[in-house]
Amino acid sequence: MPAAPLEITARDPGTRARAGLLRTAHGTVRTPAFVPLATKAVVKGLEAREVEQLGYDMVLGNTFHLFLEPGHELIRGFGGLHDFMGWDRPIVTDSGGFQVFSMGHGTVADEVKGRSPYGGERDGKVLAIEEEGVTFRNPRDGSTVFMGPETSMAVQAALGSDIALVFDECTPFHVERDYTARSAERTHRWLDRCLAWHAERGPTDQIVYGIVQGGVYEDLRVEAAQAVVARGTGGIAIGGSLGADKDQMHEVVGWTTAALGGRADHRPRHLLGIGEVDDLIRGVELGIDTFDCVTPTRLGRHGVVLTPDPEKRFRIDLSAARFKESKEPIEDGCPCPACAAGLSCGYLRYLAKNRELTGVRLLSLHNLVYVARLMRDLREAIGDGTLGEVAARLRSGSAPSTAAVVASPV
């Protein structure tokens, strides 16, 4: 495992923000960065080369989904996830813990996390949570499946991701403090098992991130951060329930990154499942290096597009009747294919309403371009020492710079 994968190239004097270069076996990720989801080995609706052309350096694959379908051994047979999906840049894989536990914890829709649980319309169900791991009913075919720390690491080794996340229990908002504390302790025992498996059998060039849990409790978050730091993992992810609203989420992230200072300062930090425009800005100020979230692509698939309008939570819903006859593009000057071609909100609304594949693609592209521009502006501002002004401008409704973002040289 690379000893210090993150080279910090600039720091903002007024906040904990830092810019850097995250070096992996498949190239470098310029941080802070947003990481689009390639949950099932594809960024929905897009080709790998398009994602690269949008300026993204890394994507995130999902261990749980790929374990169940098409299976990690099949992907290994294709030479790993990079070759399988035709993406030769960095890949991070999550551990599967979030999806497994989401099936058992029921709906967490009121949480800021925003990642919908895998259960619900599907048939998946947790059958047993034990020290060894979790047994669940396969939502695809009803079979009984076991996943524990070693399984998760073995799957991620077969996928050949550049960054693997350890298997953790992801506690939702509604569980009590006692449960959260006991769960965090078990997550740390699982962390040790993941690291032991990886040390013996994992790919030597795969970076392993520990995951800080601890719910919304400051002491538990700090303890969890110290426990992960003590293990010397290559990087650190922040997961679990981050609170009932944005203020609480920012507070929880702030406690955690404060506890990750000192000797763990140079280790890359990933915030799991967060990606709304204002949260990305705040997360960068709090010292987060990478983010993943379903938001930009999921919103696009539902006809919602990102815009520089804080009053409307930086988004507009094209299904609103007022866009029916709108001849305006989503955003003047935006370099995305929809805006650059001058396509009107009225036309895009029509495509989205009729679930036309082209409409889904165009809106996903616009949203991913918007987030890429935002992250580029934040990165450059940290380098220029202007983060305070740039963040204030972006928060108050200025559009991110309209130049197209270019992927980092591999």
**Which residues are identified as catalytic?**
94, 292
Q: Measured from the CB of residue 352, what is the shortest distance to Zn ion in angstroms?
A: 14
According to the binding rule CB under 5 A, does residue 373 interact with Zn ion? no
Q: Measured from the CB of residue 238, what is the shortest distance to Zn ion in angstroms?
A: 30
Distance CA 94, CA 63 (A): 6
Among 269, 361, 366, 379, the residue binding Zn ion under the rule CB under 5 A is 366
For 307-356, where are the alpha helices, taking DSSP H only? 337-340, 345-353
According to the binding rule CB under 5 A, does residue 376 interact with Zn ion? no
CA–CA distances in Å: residue 233 to residues 16, 24, 33, 122, 237: 21, 15, 20, 35, 10
Binding mask 319-358 for Zn ion (x = CB under 5 A): -----------x---x-x--x-------------------
Question: Within 10 A of 16 (CB to CB), how many other CB atoms are there?
Answer: 18
DSSP 8-class letter at 321: G
Question: Within 10 A of 407 (CB to CB), how many other CB atoms are there?
Answer: 17
Q: Measured from the CB of residue 339, what is the shortest distance to Zn ion in angstroms?
A: 3
Which residue lies nearer to Zn ion by CB, 113 or 366? 366
Beta bridge partners of 129: 134
Q: Measured from the CB of residue 103, what is the shortest distance to Zn ion in angstroms?
A: 36
Angle at 167 between CA 80 and CA 281, to 5 degrees: 90
Binding mask 1-40 for Zn ion (x = CB under 5 A): ----------------------------------------
**Helix-helix angle 218-231:246-259, to 10 degrees:** 40
Distance CA 341, CA 405 (A): 17
Binding segment (CB under 5 A) for Zn ion, from list 95-103, 133-141, 249-257, 359-367 = 359-367
Whether the Cβ atoms of residue 231 and residue 103 lie closer than 8 Å to each other? no
According to the binding rule CB under 5 A, does residue 60 interact with Zn ion? no
Binding segment (CB under 5 A) for Zn ion, from list 145-153, 237-245, 360-368, 385-393 = 360-368
Q: Measured from the CB of residue 170, what is the shortest distance to Zn ion in angstroms?
A: 34
Residues of this chain that interact with Zn ion (CB under 5 A) are: 330, 334, 336, 339, 366
